[in-house]
Amino acid sequence: MTSTSTDFPSLLRRGATAVAAGRVAIGVTALAWPAVPARPWVGAAADNVAARVFGRALGARDLALGLGALAALQGPAAAAGPARAWVGAGALSDALDVAATLASWRELPRFTRWLVVASAGGAALAGAAGALAATASQAERG
């Protein structure tokens, strides 16, 4: 199979769509059962009322970012600017989740903190690449 210059941006766009869909799923889960996505991040503290409140708030953030990105990514080619903004905002929030995790590294659960950093870091990289692909496709059209 040969690769063309249009294959890579399309692949990045599909990756950004997958990250956005995952963000929606995590957001819905966190709103309904905030301890489920919070437990790998903060351990047993996920059952604390304060952690549940913050878990739901982060779930709402992820749901909004994911839905915004999905809507922009499904739009016409002219929506590259909004797609770039939504996907970039999600990537930034994931990168900041990594930073928050690293800032409290020693206090977090020993094994699952790696899962959190890997998943949030991977989503941040995929989102940044998707935002750059949207920028590149907009520049090619414009």
Q: What is the pLDDT of residues 46-88, one digit of tens each?
A: 999 999 999 999 999 999 999 999 999 887 665 678 989 999 9
pLDDT of residue 12: 84
- Is position 1 within any domain? no
43: left (phi over 0), alpha (psi -120 to 50) or beta: left
Q: Please write the tens of the pLDDT for every residue from 27-51.
A: 999 999 999 999 999 999 999 999 9
- Is position 2 within any domain? no
- Is position 44 within any domain? yes
**Whole-structure pTM value:** 0.85
Q: How far is CA 45 from CA 31, 77, 108, 122, in A?
A: 17, 44, 10, 25
- Is position 38 within any domain? yes
Residue range(s) defining the domain that contains residue 18: 7-141
- Is position 32 within any domain? yes
- Is position 86 within any domain? yes
The number of domains in the chain is: 1
